[in-house]
Amino acid sequence: MTNYSPILFFLLLLLWTADSINAQQLTGVWSGKISRNVKGTKATVESLEIQLSQFGNTLWGNSFAFKDTSRYVLYRIEGKIKRKLKLISINELGRPAYILPDGFYPCEKVYRLGYSRIGKTEYLSGTWGGRGAYSDTTCFPNEDLLVVLQKIPKPDYPIENFVAQKLVNYYTRQKYPDRTNTNTTDSLLLSLYNSVDDKPVVEDSSLANRAIDIQMILKVPDSLVSVTLYDNAIIDDDTVSVFVNKKAFLVKQRISAQPLSFSFKMANANQPTEILMQAENLGSIPPNTALMIVESGNKRQEVRLSSGYGSHAAIIITFSPDNQP
C-alpha cells in the first residue's frame, strides 16, 4: 500500500509557501499625503507614511502623520482586504503617541483605499474619515478627505524598525534616498487592481528616474481636465517637462508669465491620474517652481509646485461626477 502522507504534506507545504509569498505584495512602507478641503477653499495637506504587514486578507502595522516639526501622530493600524469590493480598509486604533499644539487632539482615522499602478509606481488612494481619539466627535465633517500613498520598494531601514525610524526621521528631518518603484503586480493584487488604462502604461523615455514627491491631491467634477502652467513668483528661466500617467505632454518647455497649456481626459471615475513636473534645470534661483492651474467642469484649482534633480513634483487627481463646486 502506497504511503501518500509525505507527498501530501509536501504539496500542502508548497501551496502554503506560494500563498505566503503572493500575500506579501502590500507588505512594505507606503508614503504620501492626506488632504482636507472645504468646498470653495484651497486644500490643505499633511504627510502620511504607513507601514503595512500582510498575511492573506489581513493587514497590520503603524501609521505616522505629520505636518511640521510642531505636530505628529503615530497610531497602530489593522485592516482587511475586501477583494469582491476591490477595497482595502485600514483602521487606526489604540492609544496614539503624538505631539500637537495646545487644544488639538488626534483623529482616529479610517482609510478606504483602492490599489492601482501607473507604470512602475504603485498607489493606494481613496478617502479617509474618523472620530476624535478622546471624544465622540466626527473629524472634519462636510470636508473632502482624500489620501494617496505610493509604495517605497526599498526604505533605508528594516520594516520592523518603522516606528523608531519614523521618530528619528521626524526629529532629525532625515531624507530618504530616491524612491524609485520597481515592484510588479502579482496574482493577489490583480483582484484589487484598478487599471488606469486598458493597456499597461509605458513610461516615456524622457521621464527621468527620480523620486516622486506628492505635493497635492485634487478631486474634480469632470473627466476632462485642462492644465495651465506659469512660473511661480520670479521668472528665472525654469525649464520643465510635464507627464500625465508617465506620458509626456510638455517636453523641455521654459515656463514664464506666458501660459503653457494642455488638456487630457481621465479614464475612470475614482481612479488616480498622476501629473509629474520634471525639472530640466533649476533656473537662476533653485529650486524649480511653478504655478499649476487645474480646471475641470466649473472648478478651478491652483497648486504651487517645487521640484529639483532629486524628485518630481506630483499632483494626484481623481474625478467624481458628484463632486460639484
| Contact assessment for residue 32 and residue 146, using Cβ atoms and an 8 Å cutoff | no
Domain residue spans of the chain:
25-190, 211-319
Contact 261, 216 (CB under 8 A): no
- Sorting pLDDT into bands at 50, 70 and 90, what band is 274? very high
Nearest to 242 by CA among 250, 232, 233: 250
Backbone angles phi, psi at 92, to 5 degrees: -85, 140
**97, 164 Cβ separation under 8 angstroms:** no
Class of residue 134 by CB neighbours under 10 A (exposed 0-12, middle 13-18, buried 19+): exposed
Neighbouring residues of 10: CB distance < 8 A, sequence distance ≥ 6: none
Could you tell me the pLDDT band of residue 164, with boundaries at 50, 70 and 90? Answer: confident
pTM of the model: 0.79
> Can you tell me the mean pLDDT for 98-125?
92
Given a cut of 70, whether residue 108 has pLDDT beyond it is yes
Burial 145-175 (b: 16+ CB within 10 A, else e): bbbbbbbbeebeeeeeebeebbeebbeeeee
Q: Among the CATH numbers 2.60.40.1660, 2.40.128.120, 3.40.50.300, 1.10.3210.10, which is that of 25-190?
A: 2.40.128.120
| pLDDT per residue as tens digits for the range 285-312 | 889 899 999 999 988 999 999 999 999 9
With cut-offs at 50, 70 and 90, classify the pLDDT of residue 269: confident
Band (pLDDT 50/70/90 cuts) for residue 156 is low
Question: Among 59-63, 85-89, 116-120, 267-271, which stretch is predicted with the lowest mean pLDDT?
Answer: 267-271
Residue that wins the pLDDT comparison between 84 and 274: 274
Task: Indicate whether 228 pLDDT > 50.
Answer: yes
Cα separation, 147 vs 130, whole angstroms: 13
